[in-house]
Amino acid sequence: MPMLTVDHVSRRYGSRLALRDVSFTAQPHEIIALMGRNGAGKSTLMNVLTGYLAMTEGRAIIGGHDVQKEPLEARKLVGYLPEQPSLYPDLTVTEYLRYCAQLKGLPHRGVKAEIDRVIQRTALQEYARRLTSRLSKGYRQRLGMAQALLGKPALLILDEPSSGLDPLQMVQMRELVVSAAEDSTVLLSSHMLSEVTNVCTRALILDQGSLRFDGTMQTLLTSANTLSLTYSGGENVAEALRELPGVTNVQTISACENETTLEIQGAESADLRAAVSQCAAMCGALVLELTPERGGLESAFLRLLDKEVTP
């Protein structure tokens, strides 16, 4: 049974559709990247799942509970880290977590042990008695993560969890996210492509409110099939390459009197090396370098969003 089911969800702001018929499921213990450009609908989707916004159409089911029909039961299963955690400046770290535990309705008898657990998980032991107003940006982010982990939620929604962290803290946050999946399904929104590559096994990509991609990270990575060709001499090489079967785009990266470099994009799984080399030679070019560049997440992400949007 899926931990999360999003079924034809749309959200309208006046005449604008921020979410357009979005559907997907998430299984227990998955770590899923939620990706997209600014304004793609990521925050709206997270706000719908946490119950902060009502959907215009569709439904969302968390752990068997309908977000709209059983909002309290659904919210009890969710841990949420917003991009800017809301903290109370006059409370200490421990006091803040105790307050959050009360809001979540955790059993009073186990609250202290649970607070100790999340403090240890987020390495906040030395700051347990410090006022939240005196925490650095990185430690405020850790505290926000700690409150999200309270109660071992079935669904953990993280919005830019590594925001404001130094390189060491970023590594520690990635390890924390991976370990959190032992108890939770994790939906992680991030602009940091290195973060999602190292942590997530599946990706959802939103664009203009529509779900453009839903698949494994490996499938997304292998969709970036790019060759870099550097050559000298020759005539009309780029034009000839564009006519090759399997080539989807050719663009000039650099060009000088004696040397030209082209980026050649091909259809997924197409091996164009031999055909490109032969084509360049037939144009009278001397091939200086031909390098396959498969697997760049940035290239795959941008290439996917550059495709024509299906109405």
168/77 same-domain check: yes
pLDDT, tens digit, for every residue of 145-179? 999 999 999 999 999 998 878 888 888 899 999 99
In a domain, 98, yes or no: yes
In a domain, 308, yes or no: no
What confidence score (pLDDT) does residue 223 get? 66
Residue 216, CA distances (Å) to 219, 294, 304 in order: 5, 16, 14
* Integer Cα distance of 26 and 232 in angstroms: 51
Q: What is the CATH number of the domain that holds 238?
A: 3.30.70.3190
Q: How far apart are CA 80 and CA 108, in angstroms?
A: 21
CA distances from 287 to 117, 242, 283 (A): 60, 17, 11
Side-chain half-sphere exposure of 105, counting CA atoms within 13 A:
7
d(CA 183, CA 80): 14
Of 201, 220, 239, the position where a domain reaches its end is: 220
Other beta carbons within 10 angstroms of residue 215's beta carbon come to 12
Is the domain of 235 the same as that of 202? no
- Cβ proximity of 135 and 127 under 8 Å: yes
Mean pLDDT by 10 residues, the chain (311 residues): 96 94 97 93 96 96 97 96 92 98 93 97 96 94 96 96 85 92 96 84 94 88 79 94 91 88 81 91 94 68 63 36
Domain count, the chain: 2
| Domain CATH number, residue 117 | 3.40.50.300
Q: Find the length of the chain.
A: 311
Spatial distance between the Cα atoms of 286 and 271, rounded to a whole number of angstroms:
20
158 and 246 part of one domain: no
113/136 Cα distance (integer angstroms):
25
Domain of 188?
Answer: 4-220
158 and 269, same structural domain? no
Q: pTM, whole model, 2 decimals? A: 0.79
Residue 145 and residue 65 in one domain: yes
Does a structural domain hold residue 116?
yes
Question: What confidence score (pLDDT) does residue 311 get?
Answer: 36
Residue 168 in any domain: the answer is yes
Same domain? For 56 and 178 the reply is yes
- In tens, the pLDDT along 182-211 reads 999 999 998 887 788 889 999 999 999 999
Using CA atoms, how far apart are residues 41 and 202, in angstroms rounded to an integer? 18
For residues 211 and 256, the answer to whether their CB atoms sit within 8 Å is: no
Task: Read off the pLDDT of residues 8-32 as tens digits, 9 standing for 90 and up.
Answer: 999 999 999 999 999 999 999 999 9
Question: Is position 302 within any domain?
Answer: no
3-state secondary structure the chain: CCCEEEEEEEEEECCEEEEEEEEEEECCCCEEEEECCCCCCHHHHHHHHCCCCCCCEEEEEECCEECCCCHHHHHCCEEEECCCCCCCCCCEHHHHHHHHHHHCCCCHHHHHHHHHHHHHHCCCHHHCCCEHHHCCHHHHHHHHHHHHHCCCCCEEEEECCCCCCCHHHHHHHHHHHHHHCCCCEEEEECCCHHHHHHHCCEEEEEECCEEEEEEEHHHHHHCCEEEEEEEEECCCHHHHHHCCCCEEEEEEEEECCCCEEEEEEECCCCCCHHHHHHHHHHCCEEEEEEEEEECCHHHHHHHHHHCCCCC
Looking at residue 308, its pLDDT comes to 45
Domain boundary among 220, 253, 284: 220
Do 170 and 241 fall within a single domain?
no
Same domain, residue pair 262 and 150: no
